[in-house]
Structures are given as structure tokens and as C-alpha cells.
Amino acid sequence: MLKAFRYRLNPTKAQEAVLNEQLWLCRQLYNSALQERRDAYKKARKTITGYDQMKYLTEIKEALPEYKGIYSQVLQDVLKRLDKSFQRFFSRIKVGRTPGYPRFQGRDRYDSLCYPQSGFSVSDKTAFFSKIGNIRIRLHRPLEGKIKTATIRRDCGEWYVSYVCEVEAQPLPVTGNSVGVDVGTTWFAITSDGEFVENPRHFQNSMKKLRVAQRSVSRKKNKRSNRRRKAVQHVAKLHRKVSRQRLDFHHKTAGKLIKENDLIAHEDLNVGGMGRGNLARSIHDVGWSQFFSLLSQKAECAARSIVRVDPRYTSQGCNPCGYVSKANRLSQSRFVCQQCGHTENADVNAARNILGRAVPSGINVAVVNASVA
Ligand SMILES: [Zn+2]
């Protein structure tokens, strides 16, 4: 299985200039290749593929020698990325979703160089990249397995590298527990065992600061002013902080669930999301999908099972008797079954229904009894 390891890079001023230059050239290549595909289709109804375009890379290097300074597979990867975004575009058309044509990449949007196979190596203190050189690296945790790809990324003026490695799965001991997890807007998650997982306080504080900073940007109307530029930078840094805190929290929460349970059931975000939810839910969706994808990576690594269930009516159905009604839900948190009188926290009831959809009822009942006792 694949696992990513991310480290901070400390390039010299000269190396940073080379990296920025290469990002700029790759972005130009991306945008020109996109333009070419657009034009070919508009004028001649002809579809050019990424592989067609790759054949011209040698020619491009002859005409524009600055491209000789970039590792050839990095350039190929630029065209592959564009090809992927076209494939996503076509597949969205096929299933009848809003397509969203591949976009031109602005100055700040193109910020990574990928070495997909070779041309890189790493030792204790340095990371080597062909055509760039040895960059100082801080290996804060050991690399494991066999490195497949290396991606250099620029993030608010800092540089990072991610190595994707092929690692062996490390199964965890069997626990005999299964759990259902409901994600919410008041609580980050609620389990069928009656555990309430709160968004961490420091994360909430950063979110608050971020909102204040965003307002400060929107007050500064002059797009070119120095003060606005600084405010925009401040927002970008806070964004980075918030997303790191969120990632860290997701890692810990997912890790704990994986450690304590053999099977974890959660709602399938692709099913019935709109029917069940409201705007607040859809805003949270982004965070949840990161959490669920971490959960499934960890599950694969530890040989645990993840079951995604259809979430519809899990918040209205009574867990013990199965009676489904809107009236069962007296308030955001209070659930009282109109048929059997079962009273429970509404989110815990929903989490139990999620677990119930994932496993045969026998196990479900056992779990419910265990938490009542
Ligand atoms: Zn009932």
C-alpha cells in the first residue's frame, strides 16, 4: 500500500530562485498546452491528448532552451496533470454533472513539481533533485518503504517535499469492537458507543481569527495597496495554520477509532447528502471527506474494515424498534420514538443506525447492550 511522507525543505536563496523559475515555466507549459487543446477543439473539433503533446517536448526544448533546465519527467508530468483534468471533465459530462472546464493556472495556483519515477534521492540531511541539486531537508520522522514519487511544493513561501512510498501493511490486534460514526455540525463526530468528539478549542480559535482576518481584507478596497497585500498574506498563513490543525486533529481522531475498533461504519458522503442536510453540512463536507479518506488509508494499513452506508433516514429512525418519522426528532439533540418511547441523544441514535446498516443485527444489538450496561 502507498503512504505519503512530507518534510520541510530549506533551499538556499539561489535554489529557491531556480525552484520559482521552474514552477513559472511549468505553469506556462500547462497553460499553453491547455490553450492548444482548446483551440484544436474549437477550430477543428480535434481532440489532442496528453501523449500527443508529450511528443513535442523535445521540440519545445530546442525552441525554448530554458526548458532544458527542467527534468524531463517533471515536464511530462505537467502534461499528464492537464490530461487528468480533461479526463475528469469528460467523465463529469458523461454522468451528467456540471462539467467545469479545465482552468488556466494563475500565478499562485501552480505550486508543485512532481518527479514521478526517478531523478531524486534522499539522505539524512539532503534531498537530491536532478536539475536542481542537493537541498537541505529536515527528516523529522524516518522514511519507510520504497519511494515511488517525489513532489516539491511551495506553500506560502515555505518549501516541502512529499515522498509517496510503497509500505507493508501492519495489521493491529483484533479488538472485537465495531462502531458507527455520525459526523455533525455541533460536534465533529458522535459514535454509537455514545462518545462525543469535539472540534479542538485551538482549532476553533484559529477559525475565529481567520474570519476576522478575512473581513479585514474585504474592507481594504484598493486592490493594489500594500496594506491589502499584507492582509491577504495574513489570511493565507492563517488558512495554512487552520488546515494543518485540522489535518492533525483528523489524524488523531482517525487513529484512535482504528486502534479501538475492527470495523468502522460511517455515512457515504456521495449518497443522499443533499436530502439529509443543510448548508452548514455542505460546508463541513470538505473536512469530512479528508477525515474519511484518512480513516480508510489507516484502515488499509491496519487491516481494519470500513463500511460506508446510505445515510438517508438514519437521523429519523428509532434504533431499537426501527420506526421512522420526522416527529421522532424533538430537537437538534433530543430523540423520542413516537412508537416505542425510546429516548436517546439524537446523534447517538443516528450513529447506532449507521452501525446497524453496516453489520448484521446480532452484532449491533451486542454493541447497544454493552453501552447501556
Ligand atoms: Zn422506537
At 202, list the grid cell.
485551538
The answer to whether the CB of 194 falls within 8 A of the CB of 29 is no
**Residue 347 designated active-site:** yes
pLDDT at residue 304 tops 60: yes
Which is the catalytic residue, given 111, 182, 193, 344?
182
Q: For a pLDDT cut of 70, what percent of the chain falls above it?
A: 92
Mean pLDDT, range 99-115, rounded to an integer: 88
Is the pLDDT reported for residue 348 higher than 90?
Answer: yes
DSSP-derived letter for residue 346 is H
Output the pLDDT for position 25: 96
Q: Residue 287's pLDDT band (boundaries 50, 70, 90)?
A: confident
The mean pLDDT of the chain is 88
Q: Write down the pLDDT at residue 347.
A: 93
Q: Note the Cα 97 to chain centre separation in Å.
A: 21
Is pLDDT above 90 for 288?
Answer: no
Categorize the per-residue pLDDT at 319 as very low, low, confident or very high, splitting at 50, 70 and 90. very high
Residue 214 three-state SS: helix
- Catalytic residue from among 193, 262, 267, 344: 267
260 counts as catalytic: no
For the segment 79-96, what is each residue's pLDDT rounded down to a tens digit?
999 999 999 888 888 877
Residue type, 349: N
CB within 5 A of ion ligand 1: which residues? 318, 321, 323, 337, 339-340, 342
| Architecture, CATH, for domain 178-200+243-372 | 2-Layer Sandwich (3.30)
314: CA distance to ligand 1 center in Å?
13
What's the confidence (pLDDT) of residue 201?
A: 80
How long is the chain?
373
Residues 271-286 pLDDT 10s: 654 444 555 566 666 6
Q: Please, which residues bridge with residue 178 across strands?
A: 263
Q: Is the pLDDT of residue 31 over 60?
A: yes
Contact 23, 113 (CB under 8 A): yes
Query: Is 262 labeled as catalytic in the residue annotation?
Result: no
Q: How far is the CA of 320 from the centre of ligand 1 (A)?
A: 6
% of residues, the chain, pLDDT over 90: 60
Phi/psi at 23 (5° precision): -60, -40
Tell me the CA–centroid distance for residue 258 and ligand 1, in Å. Answer: 30
Reported as a single tens digit per residue, the pLDDT across 192-240 is: 999 999 888 887 888 889 889 999 999 988 888 899 989 988 998 888 8
CA of 196 to the centre of ligand 1 (A): 23
Residue range(s) occupied by CATH 3.30.420 in the chain: 178-200+243-372
Residue 52 is inside which H or E element, if any?
helix 50-54
Which backbone phi and psi does 217 adopt, to 5 degrees? Answer: -65, -45
CA 370 to centroid of ligand 1, rounded, Å = 19
- Range in 188-197, 271-280, 290-299, 308-317 the model is least confident about: 271-280
Tell me what pLDDT residue 369 has.
Answer: 37
Better pLDDT: 49 or 341 = 341
Active-site residue (options: 77, 262, 344, 347) = 347
